[in-house]
Structure 1
Amino acid sequence: MKKPLLAVKDIVQITGITARTLHYYDRIDLFKPTHLTEKGYRLYDRSSLEKLQTILFLKEMDFSLKEIADILKLTRQEQKQILKKQSQNLLSKKQRLETIMVALDEYVSGNDISHLQIFNSSTVLPLKEQYANEARFIYGETKAYKVYNETLENLSVDEKEKRFSDMEEIYKKIASCVDQDPSTDEVQRLIEEWKENLMHFMTCDAELLACIAHTYKFDARFKSYFNQYGNEDLADFLYSAIMRNINR
């Protein structure tokens, strides 16, 4: 004949949770024993096991213990409404985790962080928008930046993609020359090509070019960005090649 009451060790064996967890649930009044023996041992009737299984189910559904305590006080119909809403919350989290997994795989594969779509469904601004805001904060009052911004706004989405794609191709070409002297004709020809592409967005004088070169060399994010086109020396190589171009 089965025992009418279950001891802590029985609950542990049936559910797989720890005795420590049971004691904690008792202490916070979430799941209390049906009886206490004279020696203070906790005993549970079999009907209370259903309540514990409901608690464990809700915990797996990502509810906090406080939320679970509140849910247990509701009617079954009210509980269903909350679970329907939680289902949508979990679906959003699933989609968010899938985005994170894709971004993680891309980053591990060598893509620069600025290309990742990690913040697109977040309260944090996407990285490209962060970079644009940073540039606006630093250079927003300069004539060159205003020209750049106006030009960018007038370009179609396809035109923007083509310009950025062209620039990426130039970086790849320059990356293939990192073993050369930055002042060689081939490298300088590529720097001129880089400048020409940049001129589609703004008028670049020597001072602005030097500022861009300095950013490439000393901003860790740009160093990381250029790593995807070549090795860790590319940012420094670009800096040297641009400065040689300015001083020619």
Structure 2
Amino acid sequence: MHIKEVAELAGVSIRTLHHYDEIGLLTPKKINVSGYRIYSEADLERLQQILFFKELGFTLKKIKEMMNSSSYKQEEALEIQRGMLIDKRKRIDKMIQTIDKTIQNKKGEIQMTDKEKFEGFDFSHNPYEDEAREKWGNHVVDESNAKIKQLSKYERESLEKEFHGIYRKLAEIRHESPNSDIAQERIGLWYDYLNKLGSYSLEAFKGLGQMYIDDDRFTKNIDKFGEGLAKFMRDAMAVYAERNQSE
């Protein structure tokens, strides 16, 4: 198949396929007499795998690393992708139910508890762990994961409640200046919270804030608490790091 046919078949742009070729993620080996690349059945299967991984939030860098590994097996990858997509569907279904309940609550048809308002949100698993490992090393992530595993169910629920509370407090003031006293006080709570789970330096804290904007997945999840929250947190975290480094 020619690149235009593949683009139409897979629902991606020709530019995207050119980009995959340029970075060595998907490079068709067959070339016709006119010099155009021809996509084989194996190329289409590889593209399918790439798009599944993209849907699950993996970066192109990570996808290339995994698929070029000598231990990579397509059938095994499909089984893993299937499981991850089922988990994702369950979370989405739960969040849709929460939205429906929230609409009913707004109309006065039902009364929601605070806990029900956040059903479906799950931050116990970090889908961005690979990026964190690349930026700050394994020890921070491993230390954080080890601490969480040691906690009782009650302690984990308490930690999750504290997490939601901090984000709600930050969302309330997201239109304030990141330099304001209240912004710095509340972003300090976030810094303290992270250091309950790991050892985050001020530099790592600032870098994490920048990732909230650089990575669309972060931005979308954080902005569920209030549009513009990710950008506000990025700016407030940078100010916090700079102020406290000088003290």
Taking structure 2 as the reference length, the TM-score comes to: 0.48
Larger Rg: 1
Taking structure 1 as the reference length, the TM-score comes to: 0.48
